[in-house]
Structure 1
Amino acid sequence: MTDSQKRYLLIVNGKSSGDPMLREAVLAERKAGKEITVRATWEGGDAAEFAEKAVDDGMTHVIAAGGDGTVNEVVNGLMRVAHDRRPALGIVPMGSANDFATSVGLPLEPGPALSAALSFEGAPIDVVRMTAGQGSEADVSYYINMTTGGFGAEITSTTPKMLKRMLGGGAYSLMGALKAWRHQSYRGTLHWQEHEQSESLLLLALGNGRQSGGGQVLAPRARLDDGRLDVLLVKDFSSVWELPTLIGELQNFPAEGRYVRYFTATKLTVTTRADDAPWPLTLDGEARHHERFSVEVVPLALSVLLPEGCTLLSANDHP
């Protein structure tokens, strides 16, 4: 596709629509000959709807300008489009955490980020499909970075927005330290491949990407295009004296440690008993609670505008 054939839809989180640097960047790119249409969100669901309709409006690329939640909503809209018609995704990070953008090496300022999105080539990456519930009432959604469950999700979903803006990613670490003294574990049975494991877990992380919660690396060996989900299980502890062992294992991510287990799978299901609390989950910044959920990799489902040499792509692995 030549540059003259490319048409970009920039979907901006309504809270960022007045950002002067973003406005200047759009005007500059338009003057340089780029065809950019801008849509700003007003309420939940707008970003997904704009993304879904983009191809019918003749758009070849969709750029999400906002935080991880905005990117997630745009991804879900794009996944409603047939694969052979699906526009490529670009990202202008404007949130407090920007975990996906940071991990893949995107610029974090609006001007350079927009310029990069307009110049990068698309790379096919996996998308993860989450199905919550069963049967006709099942809820299906998608994500490209990470789902955290239990303690990690509590931190992300309860960190006040004002604190996020003031401290950026450090807000999540602060909330984590405060909550560690009165943490709650979550019970469930996990099924993957031929395995079944019932556990009381402090944290569950299901990574297509590597980090969540404002820079917390929870899936260090994840690749966006390997057809695998990186799974991190952190078991509950009963005494503060056990924390050094747990923390040490989190620095090494063993395949099967005393408190930490790290492995890959193509699909994983979590079920709870009637008397168990629903799991608090965060999908790329979006909070929810589910009693039963399943995650499954959809291989190479979406083209994303990424920098050349991105370390989360298998083609750039170095021996």
Structure 2
Amino acid sequence: TRHTNTPRHATRLTRQALRDGCDRILAVGGDGTFGEVVDGFFAEDGGPPINPEAVFTPVACGTGEDFRRTTGAPGEPVAAVAHRLRRADVRRVDVGRACFTTDADRTDADRKRTRHFLNVASLGMGADVSRRVHASNAPAWVSGRLRFLWAIVRVIRDYRCRPVTLTVDGQPAGCYRVRSLAVANGRFYGGGLEIAPRAALDDGRLDAIVVGDFSLIRFPHYMRKLYAGAHLPLDKVAAFRGETLTAESPDVVPLDLDGEPVGRLPATFEVLPGVLRLQH
């Protein structure tokens, strides 16, 4: 058993364990921890899987628990999870890979990073919301959903929509004034928002959901639809599916992977079909 204590520590621990011959990684934590662990299943800088037959077992114990919602696993005490996992099946699922720009003051080549994500890559307001949730000092009894909802309310008041140009599978998909853009492998993010209701972990596709510049007076309506996964027909929402997606902007647009801030646009995303053995 190893405990993490710094950012990216879970990635380093996972890589070392797999290189030492471990064939099963069980992680207890939130979506950010799961994302770091999954990145550790691959060699550095977007390299190949270290052990393609290794199994990942996530045990949700975090703020949002959105990946747990995607898998359909019940919310339950950690002690009860061990009993359930003795009977759980292992299946192959997709993983997302993101090549993005860091905020560091370096040369263009040094500012590029490649990491993997399990659930959702979020751009724009969604990334700002994640940063605010991480900085929150809310009491432990405040639920993850309430923390995310309060952060959304705080961020949306002052958020300025950014222009983002999308390319999906090599084809132009348009330029949008974006409040938030999710590139989704899973269905949920933001503490229960069903941002990508058509997404599946094993379909070989990423779902890109654009939430555009709707008026603030329509905020309650949009939030109800987002929680219910019924927002795709709304006039300021656009949805795409593909194997690769590129997002670019002349502005600084922040990016997070599985709820953890990593950098900004421009970024390219691709799906790695069936590359991870998952037990849940």
**Residue type of the partner of 1:254?**
L
TM-score by length of 2: 0.85
TM-score (normalizing by structure 1): 0.75
Query: Is residue 10 of structure 2 the alignment partner of residue 47 of structure 1?
Result: yes
User: Which one of the candidate residues 275, 284, 309 is aligned to 2:258?
Assistant: 284
Question: Partners in 2 of 1:132 and 1:164 — Cα distance?
Answer: 34
1:129 alignment counterpart: 97
Residue 223 of structure 1 pairs with residue 191 of structure 2: no
Deviation at 1:156, TM superposition (A): 1.6
Count of matched residue pairs: 264
State which structure, 1 or 2, has the greater radius of gyration over its C-alpha atoms: 1
After superposition, the C-alpha distances for 1:141-162 in whole angstroms (9 at most, x for unaligned) are 0011011111122112112343
- Give ranges in structure 2 of 5+ residues lacking alignment: 102-107
Structure 1, gaps ≥5 residues long: 1-37, 307-319
Higher relative contact order, structure no. (Cα contacts within 8 Å, ≥ 6 residues apart): 2
Distance 1:114 1:269, change over 3 A: same
Q: 1:207 aligns with which of 184, 189, 194?
A: 184
CA distance in 2, matches of 1:45, 1:241: 40
User: Does 2:137 align with 1:185?
Assistant: no
Q: Residue 173 of structure 1: which of 112, 131, 149 is its match?
A: 149
1:203-222 CA-partner distances (Å, limit 9, x unpaired): 10111001111111100111
Of Structure 1 and Structure 2, which has the larger fraction of its residues in helix?
A: 1
| Distance (Å, rounded) in 2 between the aligned partners of 1:164 and 1:258 | 37
Q: Deviations over 1:55-110 (max 9, x none)?
A: 34332210011111111111010122636544110011121111102331224311
Provide the C-alpha distance between the structure 1 equivalents of 2:148 and 2:111, rounded to a whole number of angstroms: 33
1:243 Cα deviation from its structure 2 partner: 4.7
Residue type of the alignment partner of 2:159: H
**Residue 82 of structure 1 corresponds to which residue in structure 2?**
49
Query: Is 1:268–1:296's contact at 8 Å kept on the other side of the alignment?
Result: yes
Aligned to 1:312: none
Is the 2:34–2:118 Cα contact (8 Å) retained in structure 1?
no
In 2, are the aligned partners of 1:63 and 1:117 still within 8 Å (CA)?
no
2:22 equivalent among 47, 53, 59: 59
Distance 2:269 2:80 in 1: 34
Identity of aligned residues (%): 27
RMSD: 2.3
